[in-house]
């Protein structure tokens, strides 16, 4: 089980340091039973790295460049993130796809860039409300998954994480039912099995769509739900720790 907090574009410098320290304290003793990560804004990565270094809380970035270096103003490379102590890099988050026009090919390139330098890409996929209502949700997610993993050489089951985030449930207060989450996670697992063979059984598939302390346990009880990519609830250390505790109990 794995729980990763995506802080998005939130927190001041002081707030990020305090939140990181609180997450370390609140998850002490339970972080070893479920993997825990935090993804602060890029400008606070170094400060947060200092607070989580030597603890069981891993550091992640909210995006990563496809290229290792060069004239790419505004981008941050995998070697830079690795040098800071990052373990994870989120790629293909629905906000990056919808607001910044990132395509499956872009996501695949970023994932390859991350993996080439020892980072674990958290590859996000998920359908909109319109796509779900039209009955296209499964086809959309399969297509996104196939495109976003193009050219990716996955050598072990811990080298890749998938996050299913139904777009209609992100920041809306709506959550996929446990049954809906399990159905899509099973679809993703089957697609991974076609691509990765036996490795697919060990790849962690996280649910990301308004995960909260109140619904985490029922979501994590599903067979193919291996934890959560947590947005708003990750900005409260006590609530985030409650989600981690649910993951540890499910594990």
DSSP β-ladder status, 57-61 and 86-91: parallel
**Per the annotation, does 126 bind a ligand?**
no
**Per the annotation, does 133 bind a ligand?**
no
Q: Which of 95, 127, 131, 165 is catalytic?
A: 165
Q: Which of 26, 93, 102, 127 is catalytic?
A: 93
**Per the annotation, does 210 bind a ligand?**
yes
Q: Is 165 a catalytic residue?
A: yes
In this structure, the number of other CB atoms found within 10 A of the CB of residue 68 comes to 13
* Nearest Cα to Cα of residue 37 among 3, 71, 8: 3
Q: Is 93 a catalytic residue?
A: yes
Helix (H, G, I), strand (E, B) or coil at 138: helix
Beta strands in the chain (DSSP E): 2-6, 35-39, 57-61, 86-91, 120-125, 161-164, 204-207, 227-230
In the DSSP assignment, the letter for residue 165 is -
User: Rounded to an integer, what distance in angstroms lies between the CA atom of residue 60 and that of residue 82?
Assistant: 9
User: Rounded to an integer, what distance in angstroms lies between the CA atom of residue 117 and that of residue 242?
Assistant: 32
**Per the annotation, does 44 bind a ligand?**
no
Q: How many CA atoms lie within 13 A of 118 on its CB side?
A: 9
**Per the annotation, does 8 bind a ligand?**
yes
Cβ atoms of 117 and 157 within 8 Å: the answer is no
**Per the annotation, does 63 bind a ligand?**
no
- Written as six digits, the tokens of 251 are 């594990």
Helix (H, G, I), strand (E, B) or coil at 58: strand
Catalytic residues: 93, 165
Please report, in range form, the residues annotated as the binding site for substrate. Answer: 6-8, 171, 210, 231-232
Please report, in range form, the residues annotated as the binding site. Answer: 6-8, 171, 210, 231-232
């Amino acid at each position: 089980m794995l729980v990763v907090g995506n802080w998005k574009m939130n927190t001041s410098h002081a707030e990020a340091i305090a939140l990181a320290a609180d997450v370390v304290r609140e998850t002490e003793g339970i972080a070893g039973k479920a993997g825990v990560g935090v993804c602060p804004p890029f400008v606070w990565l170094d400060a947060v790295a200092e607070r989580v270094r030597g603890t069981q809380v891993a550091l992640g970035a909210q995006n990563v460049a496809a290229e290792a270096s060069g004239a790419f103003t505004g981008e941050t490379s995998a070697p830079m993130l690795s040098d800071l102590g990052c373990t994870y890099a989120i790629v293909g988050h629905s906000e990056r796809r919808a607001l910044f026009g990132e395509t499956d090919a872009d996501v695949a390139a970023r994932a390859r860039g991350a993996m080439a330098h020892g980072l674990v890409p958290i590859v996000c996929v998920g359908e909109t409300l319109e796509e779900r209502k039209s009955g296209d949700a499964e086809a959309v997610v399969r297509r996104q998954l196939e495109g976003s993993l193009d050219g990716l050489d996955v050598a072990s089951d811990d080298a890749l994480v998938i996050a299913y985030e139904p777009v209609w449930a992100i920041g809306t207060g709506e959550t996929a039912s446990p049954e809906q989450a399990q159905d899509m996670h099973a679809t993703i697992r089957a697609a991974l099995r076609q691509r990765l063979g036996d490795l697919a059984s060990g790849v962690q598939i996280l649910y990301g769509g308004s995960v909260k302390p109140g619904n985490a346990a029922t979501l994590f009880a599903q067979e193919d739900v291996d934890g959560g990519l947590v947005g708003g609830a990750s900005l409260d250390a006590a609530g985030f720790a409650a989600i981690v505790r649910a993951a540890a109990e499910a594990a």
